[in-house]
Amino acid sequence: MNQELNRAWRRPACPLPSRRLPAPHMAAPVLSYENLGLVQGSGWLFRELDIHIGARDRLALIGRNGAGKTTLLKLLAGTIDPDEGRRTIVPGTRVILLEQEPAMKGVATLADYVLGGDDAPERHEADAIADQLGIDLSRDAGSASGGERRRAAIVRALAQDPDVLLLDEPTNHLDIAAIDWLEEWLARFKGAFVAISHDRTFLTRLTRQTLWLDRGTIRRAEIGFGGFEAWTEQVYAEEARNAQRLDAKLKIEEHWLHRGVTGRRRRNQGRLAQLKEMRAERAAMMGPQGAANLVTAADDTKSKIVIDVKKVSKAYDDRTIIRDLTLRVTRGDRIGIVGANGAGKTTLLKLLTGEIDPDSGEIVRAKTLDGIVIDQQRSLMAPEKSVRDVLADGGDWIEVLGVKKHIHGYLKEFLFDPSLAEAKIATLSGGERSRLLLAREFARESNLLVLDEPTNDLDLETLDLLQEVIADYAGTVLIVSHDRDFLDRTVTVTLGLDGSGSVDVVAGGYEDWERKRKPRNEPRKATAKSMAPARPPAQAKTKLSYKDQRDFELLPKRIDELDAAILRDTDALADPDLYTRDPSRFAALTAAIDKARSDKDDAEMRWLDLAEQVEALG
């Protein structure tokens, strides 16, 4: 029964077809580039790109670090010129670029930055958005934190009343409350946006189309980021089939050949299954409020404890940061720490690692605890050093957990071209520096790993790699992060801070904490069962009704039939000439796919309800 449950629940949605050119049915674009090409170094970064942005598009721009995503946004914004290609924009369209690193040199305060220049927004608009985002624009720009500078840049961009927003890592340095606010603003936004982001949750919630910048070409799919992984698997599978038919070598990066798309998906599923088992085991060790249960003589939990926290409190300037926290961190735990900026995440991390002492209570750490810290300042990366210097102290070999590896081979494991061994740190992108630091630190032997905002500047592929490394790490991991999807994929226990001093200790990831913090009372989709009139209490059921039993047996087949129908109609819709040749059939297929997906959702929800009843009945 559990296999049936997993099969129905995990069945991926079938993505819509990809488009390299705008489909004929799309609304006229407000911003376009045709035949776009740009030279970088000794060759073309990309060439012959056609990009069209409609007035209400919500586009995710996806690609590896170094593929040229940020450069492409600057080209679309018109801040740099291409080597070839023609940019077309509807007159009066205001295109605003939110840069990853806003330039604030020469300004005294954040307000000077926000309200400076010929295209400055209205003061009242900027003040209104700043108030909602919780940023004081009178703050000195030179001493402002990364989060404050990011908020100021968002205020300036949104207050300019854009028609097209180009967003380069908009959630970097933002806390969860600010990310939620930005998501709500963009959901109501009447214009178009293109977003580069490593935040899977952000992209999944907001985007409806995807641009994939891959090996110097660009592909477009009329699906949001939620369908990106399934779509790329289809693309790579088709390339492999074409390569076999033509008896030619598949032109694809070495790491894809090494890892394999199918193998990566299976490993992801295996890791998630293992993570669920670890969370269930951890939940069994916790009391109802998250505090650890008392250790009995019969179990071995005590021997596994690496950090034991008993009724710990910490305050600064009469403000209580942590109050009466009791927690046991055991060997192999992956602990996620979440909360708004200023809620006390860093304080809690320092308490757990022994960098500061509590005001009251007791923290006992295992004597053998040996930790490494990867902080968000990346303080170990000196710009004048080479990759070889940082990784292997100038040599050719690096010792990785007691095993010697050649630096070139180890660079490949972390998705680097081995030729980068001689490159200076100053020439690397932010994402490459972060990846190199991970490669250096994961080579060291340790049993405690502390990651402070590890996902900043990492592309999605490197995030997958980081998840694999954390899953395989033999010790305990402490993670401070605002990346909700990353936490859901990696941690076994979440410590949630709300700023009042209390700490929620929840077995699971961010979503588990969110459910506890804000109980959702959203009404479920109405079904025949929920719409039926209330009945008086009856004896407990001992078996399913005839209709329920029939549905339980037949719905899996119905779900498979709907999947097949979605796949069939989607394949038909992939014909790029279909709309111009037969617009009525195009409309009918689109409507059929929407209805089949809705029917499938209803069928899966009904079957899951019945499966729960079957489990309850034994």
User: Which structure tokens are listed for 5?
Assistant: 């449950």
Dist. CA 36–CA 115, nearest whole Å? 33
**Which range is least confidently modeled, 139-148, 286-295, 564-573?**
286-295
Dist. CA 497–CA 338, nearest whole Å? 6
pLDDT in tens, 49-98: 999 999 999 999 998 877 889 999 999 999 999 999 999 999 999 999 99
Check: pTM over 0.75? Answer yes or no.
Answer: no
Give the pairing type, strands 209-214 and 58-62.
Answer: parallel
Q: Are 552 and 614 in contact (CB under 8 A)?
A: yes
Q: How deeply is 190 buried, as exposed, middle or buried, from its count of CB atoms within 10 A (0-12, 13-18, 19+)?
A: exposed
pLDDT in tens, 375-404: 644 555 778 888 888 888 888 898 887 788
User: How many residues are there in the chain?
Assistant: 618
Identify the residue with better confidence: 566 or 32: 32
pLDDT in tens, 475-484: 899 999 888 9
Using DSSP's 3-state secondary structure scheme, residue 563 falls into helix
pLDDT given for residue 586 in this prediction: 76
Identify the residue with better confidence: 285 or 535: 285
Q: In what order do the strands lie in the sheet with 305-316?
A: 319-330, 305-316, 360-365
Closest to 312 in 3D by CA, of 345, 368, 344, 352: 352
Q: pLDDT at residue 192 above 90?
A: yes
Closest to 378 in 3D by CA, of 303, 480, 476, 454: 454
Q: What percent of the chain has pLDDT over 90?
A: 29
Q: pLDDT at residue 371 above 70?
A: yes
Q: Who's near 406: CB < 8 A, 6+ residues apart?
A: 396, 397, 398
What mean pLDDT is reported for the chain?
A: 79
What is the 3-state composition of the chain as percent helix, strand, coil, each rounded to the nearest 5?
Answer: 45, 20, 35
Q: Are 181 and 132 in contact (CB under 8 A)?
A: yes
